[in-house]
Amino acid sequence: MRVLPRRPIGGIVVAMPGKHANGREAAVEGTVSSRSPSAAMSDTRPIARLRRVMDALARLKQPHPADAAWFVASAGRYQAAQTSGVALDLGQAMGLGAPGRRSWWADERRARRDELLRELHTRHLSHLSPGQAATAIRRLAAVVEAGGMQAAKGDDRLQLVAEALSTGQPIPAARQLKRLLKVDMNGAI
């Protein structure tokens, strides 16, 4: 019997064959979600529900009844579409995406990038207006892009920018960044 490596998906470790994005074999163990169970259950995004169902099944436990009902309904939509000849993939049936929409993983990476940029603004640039902070962040990003991770060593500001860039999402244009930071200042995150 082949033992599958364990791979973290959104803070949950599940057994899954394959490789990480960096090409190494997936074999990471012991990752746990930093969210409390009640906070995790309040997350009704389809990908969050899918991760909780996968986590429960990987631990040979029953998923939460709300997540199980969502999963059964999603599988039922998929099965009904297949038997009626409608083109619907499993991801669409689960609410994970639709043609012409951004993927859930791009949304998560963008949200993580935005979180890091807001953190940078709060911790190091709060004395600047959103417009000035946007300009400063874009300058910091240029330094990191020119020097890579080596440039970020020892400077928390550059490390936050490097981490934001490591999401694979570009630093937003100055106007978008200013709007993102204004949201942070108004506390409407």
Inform me whether the pLDDT recorded for 102 exceeds 70.
Answer: yes
Q: Are 104 and 97 in contact (CB under 8 A)?
A: yes
Residues 115, 175, single domain; the answer is: yes
The DSSP 8-state label assigned to residue 166 in this structure reads: T
The residues facing 19 across adjacent strands are: 25
pLDDT tens digits, 35-58 = 445 556 778 888 899 999 999 999
Q: What is the mean pLDDT of the chain?
A: 78
pLDDT, average across residues 142-155: 82
Inform me whether the pLDDT recorded for 23 exceeds 60.
Answer: no
Instruction: Check: pTM over 0.75? Answer yes or no.
Output: no
Distances in whole angstroms, Cα of residue 62 to Cα of each of 16, 31, 68, 140, 187: 19, 20, 8, 47, 37
Q: Classify residue 42: in a domain, yes or no.
A: yes
Residues 115, 72, single domain; the answer is: no
Which runs of consecutive H residues, i.e. helices, occur in the chain? Answer: 37-41, 46-58, 65-84, 90-93, 104-124, 130-152, 156-165, 174-185
Check residues 86 and 64 and name the one with the higher pLDDT.
64
pLDDT, average across residues 109-136: 94
Instruction: State the residue range of the domain holding 109.
Output: 104-185
